[in-house]
Amino acid sequence: MIQYALKCSDGHSFDSWFQSAAAFDKLSAAGMVTCAVCGCEKVEKAVMTPRVRPARNAVAKTAPDKPAPDQISMTTPAPEIEKILSELRRKVEETSDYVGKDFATEARKIHLGDAPERAIYGEAKPEEAKALVEDGVPVAPLPFIPSRKAN
């Protein structure tokens, strides 16, 4: 697994994990890497600082790094986090098809070209999600539980 700092064409910065550098390139070329903030498909790698372990005798930093204004940190107030998650949920529900518990099956069909390509969301068991990732199907967990749509 590799973590990349990413930036969309609208200037939003976010991080995401990929199975490998090649997996990022493949997903990006297919237009399947989207901004976590606005959903924009024009995403590129941002400049990253390397993670270097300090020397054993180095003194730890006392002041935490300040997050960028469009990122959530552990010190972000709860009402602001709730607002951001609410907006994310609204955007996902507006722009994606809810497929419920058939998520893993439908995601695999889309990946293989057996179903029309479109944005979907739903529910999957952990082992189903792991199998999708291992097979190179681009999926990501949502930070909320989808509203179950029933007739």
- The domains of the chain are located at 1-49, 76-151
The pLDDT score that the predictor gives to residue 69 is: 54
The pLDDT score that the predictor gives to residue 61 is: 53
Q: Which of 115, 120, 16, 10 is nearest to 70 (CA)?
A: 10
| pTM for this predicted structure | 0.49
| Tens-digit pLDDT profile for residues 45-68 | 887 766 666 666 655 555 555 555
Q: In this structure, are residues 137 and 111 in contact, taking their beta carbons and an 8 Å threshold?
A: yes
| Tens-digit pLDDT profile for residues 35-47 | 888 888 888 888 7
Q: In this structure, are residues 30 and 42 in contact, taking their beta carbons and an 8 Å threshold?
A: no
The residue-averaged pLDDT of 110-126 equals 92
What percent of the chain is helix, strand and coil (3-state, nearest 5)? 30, 15, 55
The pLDDT score that the predictor gives to residue 58 is: 59
Residue 147: pLDDT above 70?
no
The residue-averaged pLDDT of 80-98 equals 87
Beta strands 43-45 and 2-8 are antiparallel
Tokens for 15, please give them: 């991080």
Query: CA-to-CA distance for 16 and 3, rounded, in angstroms?
Result: 6
Across 63-150, the runs of DSSP E, i.e. the strands, are 97-100, 120-122
Question: What whole-number percentage of the chain has pLDDT above 90?
Answer: 25
